Amino acid sequence: MSRSHTATLALVMIPLLSAGCAGDGDMAESEPAAVESSEAMGGMDAADAMALSNPNLATEDELTAVPGITAEAAAAVVGGRPYLRAADLHALLAGAIGEEAALEAYRALWLPINLNDVTNDEILLIPGVGDRMAHEFEEYRPYVDMDEFRMEIGKYVDEDEVERLARYVYVPIDLNSATREEIMAVPGMSERMAHEFEEYRPYTGLDQFRREIGKYVDENEVARFERYVALNQGSSRGL
């Protein structure tokens, strides 16, 4: 396995124009206060109802079940783990199956993105998200938790679309205050590993986290877990 060289403060790790959206008067005048349905934002079809496979965790068979993913592409995805940025995955997939096929695959395959760290280009990889919605994603940074994301994005799209978008994003959990439930929401987490996350509290820095969790998993898995955690940002509530 190869390790991505892109670092991220990763976590639990998650999630747009606040009431009034100060400083954006042109938008406030030209756009409606809310978008009531996913159709208005470029609606999704039935394919979006399926669960999203995680490229850091899915088997090759699971990857090839994603429309457009060839056996060769699936093997390349597995060989490139761990992916720490959506842009890293996209570079590999677009090279393997083409830009259009890669974008279509993201209806079923996705690396969750940290709302407080993600780039505009990465946000635009989410199916159905255009420049306007990408602006809303960025407007409310930093997010405290996914409840805040749902509240803010819910000003623009209906509840179903909020939940669809929530599958693509996360806000990192705080290592020293996250509950067991929040820790278990980290992709690929086990009860045993959740216990180890708690065992070494309080953490004084991410170096300590890497050192302690590195006793139980290899450096690639430490890096994957690190995407979803942070220190001293308060409690998060959801992935």
For the cut 50, the answer to whether the pLDDT of residue 2 exceeds it is no
pLDDT of residue 51: 81
Note the pLDDT tens digit of each residue in 33-42: 344 333 333 4
Count of CB atoms situated within 10 Å of the CB of 22: 9
113 neighbors 76 (Cβ within 8 angstroms)? no
Residue boundaries of the structural domains of the chain: 173-230
Report residue 10 as tokens: 């990763």
- DSSP annotation of 175 reads T
pTM: 0.78
For the cut 50, the answer to whether the pLDDT of residue 138 exceeds it is yes
pLDDT of residue 50: 55
For the cut 60, the answer to whether the pLDDT of residue 6 exceeds it is no
141 neighbors 115 (Cβ within 8 angstroms)? yes
Selected from 1.10.540, 1.10.3470, 1.10.287, 1.10.150, the CATH number assigned to the domain covering 173-230 reads 1.10.150
Note the pLDDT tens digit of each residue in 78-101: 999 999 999 999 999 999 999 999
172 neighbors 116 (Cβ within 8 angstroms)? yes
Max Cα separation, the chain? 55
184-207 mean pLDDT: 97
Angle separating helix axes 191-199 and 206-213, nearest 10 degrees:
130
